[in-house]
Structure 1
């Protein structure tokens, strides 16, 4: 059985085939029934991503873009 990932700031996670992603932020989405948004950073490539469970992973140019909902 695979271990569950911890989606907390500072944790390293994997999304699909993209590994080594550090959770650097979480944007709660209360009241809209959507999953929370996570801001991720991949140190090996210096790339920033936005991840919403069940909606996918998106590469972003800036932290502001990644955190925008």
Structure 2
């Protein structure tokens, strides 16, 4: 009897999808707390939060492509 990692991954992914709004609220709260305890790092904290929110959006299938982001180029041969 081993651990079924695919099943575990699927359950975790489903939980993230179902609770992405609550997770985003938690990220905002954590960012606010971190900003209140540090100074001069607001842009780095905001950047980390945005990356986490982008990941959640991709996972949930609700991400919106950035208008200024270029599509990836195929590798040169």
- Same fold? TM cut 0.5: no
| Bigger proportion of residues as strand | 1
In the superposition, the TM-score normalised over structure 1's length comes to 0.21
So what's the TM-score if we normalise by structure 2?
A: 0.20
Give the number of the structure whose alpha-carbon radius of gyration is greater.
2
Q: Larger relative contact order (C-alpha < 8 A, sep ≥ 6)? A: 2
Structure with higher helix content: 2
